[in-house]
Homo-oligomer: A and B are copies of this chain.
Amino acid sequence: MNDEEKKVMLAHGSGGRLTQELVQSVFAAGLGNPILDRMEDAATLELQGRLAFTTDSHVVSPLFFPGGDIGRLSLTGTVNDLAMMGAVPLYVAAGFIIEEGFPLAELGRIVTSMREASREAGVQVVAGDTKVVERGAADGVFITTSGIGLIPDGVRISAAAASPGDAVIVSGTIGDHGVAILSQRQGMDFEVELRSDCAPLGGLVRGMLEASRRIRVLRDPTRGGLAAVLNEIAIASGVSVEIDEERIPFRPEVRAASELLGLDPLVMANEGKLVAVVAAQDAGRVLEVMRSHSLGSEATVIGRVETAAGERPRVFARTILGSRRILSMPSGEQLPRIC
């Protein structure tokens, strides 16, 4: 059997010789570093200070998509959650659940993507685990990543820290990841390829924090999209948020595909974008720094925080015609396995 045809077998998950071979030939070969290579039951890290710690499971379907794959996604997803606390992402652990029969060559591609994304993000994969389940008990590969980052002194980012008057910024075009995945699933063909925006945001955030210590909130609008994140911020901070719909940047092809598919891009997942709530007087400076970064070149102020006095925290979208509608927390959308 040549390498192309080799498959993951149940015995690769047994904890014995084949598990060791898989770990050495795929995971250590792809992701190795002095900490991972020790192959102890846990990685040993030297760290001092305030840490951010997070986990995310990834079940995206299809596993490979324009702009990324589950390997890149699982690395950036966790790194971005750390960055949204203002932390410098440092270490990642990855748990793989693999369906029996999954091609080893595809697993290798996924691990290579993780390595590339970890280099972009400046993190090391220091611990891992592999389980194999019978054919039909999982769909291809699921990857759960967890991460540790270090929060610089003085940085206090929280979804609960938005105040009336603050500016609401998005770092770029909205809906790219979700629309790319869904149109690939539907087998839609556009003249321009729809690509996921999947990218690690730690570098962008570092620049923003150097420009201002009055960044109140950072969130990456993944599942549930911009609508979910703005509602979460409103609720956590006890404020209302008003955005101008016409200021939200969209790729024309994302807008076109959304219309064709009957999707609202405001609830579509993003995997390389952030929402920032920033003190109004610092908004210009933060925007400038963001626009000088490749992942923030289309950063835009889309709205501001308002008092929720006398009413429940809400998100309002001012439409192009000037009317104001409530942008609610998405509910009941059937968009499984977007990330």
Interface residues of A (CB under 8 A from B): 10-11, 13-20, 38-59, 61, 80-82, 84-85, 87, 91, 93-97, 100, 126-134, 136-139, 142, 144, 146-149, 151, 158-160, 218-220, 222-225, 227-228, 236, 267, 269, 329-337, 339
Contacts and interface: CB of A to CB of B under 8 A. Distances in A.
Contact of A336 (B94, B130, B134, B336): B134
Contacts of A55: 93-95, 127-129, 144, 146
A53 B43 contact: yes
A131 B222 CA distance: 13
A203 B8 CA distance: 37
Nearest to A158: B40
A223 B330 CA distance: 42
Most buried by B among A38, A93, A269: A93
A324 to B, nearest CB: 21
B17 A329 contact: yes
The oligomer's copy count stands at 2
Given A49-B48, A133-B139, A144-B95, A14 B333 contact: yes
B138 A136 contact: no
A53 B42 contact: yes
Nearest to A20: B329
Contacts of A131: 57-59, 142, 337, 339
A85 B126 CA distance: 14
The 7 closest A-B pairs by CB, nearest first: A15-B223, A15-B224, A16-B330, A144-B144, A42-B54, A146-B146, A57-B95
A85 B54 contact: no
